[in-house]
Amino acid sequence: MTTMEDVSNVDKLESIKSLQSTISKLENALSQMTQNGANTTLVKKRLKAVYIGLAVLENIWNQKPHPYTREELAEARNVITGLSPTIENSYAKSKTGSPQRTLLERRMKALELTIQAIDDLSTK
C-alpha cells in the first residue's frame, strides 16, 4: 500500500478530476430527479460524500483546509465504500480499451485514494 505522499502527480490530478466529474454527474442526476419528483435522498448522500472526498484529497495533497467533522468523514467513507461495487460491476461489463473503461478505472482509483485519505485523517 503506497502512502498518500507517494501517489504520482498524474494519479493525483486524475483522481481530483475524476471526483469533480462524479460531482458533476451527481448534480445533474439530482437536478433531473428533483424535476421528476423522484426520491433524491441517496443521490444527495452520495453527492455530499464525494464533495467530502474531494475536500479530503485536496487537504492532503494541496494543504487546502476542509470543514468536515470526524462523523462526516466516517459517513462519507461508508457511502464511498458503498459506491465501489457498482463501479466495479460497470467496469467488469465495459470493453477493454474503451473510454468508458478508462473513466471507470480512474473513478475506482480516485475512490480508493479517497478512502485511504479519510483513514489517514481519521488517525491524526
Structural domains of the chain, count: 1
Alpha carbons 32 and 37: distance in angstroms, whole number:
9
Q: Give the mean pLDDT of the chain.
A: 94
pLDDT class of 1 with cuts at 50, 70, 90: low
Domain limits at 17?
Answer: 4-122
25-50 pLDDT tens trace: 999 999 999 999 999 999 999 999 99
CATH of residue 93's domain is 1.20.1440
pLDDT value for 122: 83
pLDDT value for 2: 65
pLDDT value for 4: 84
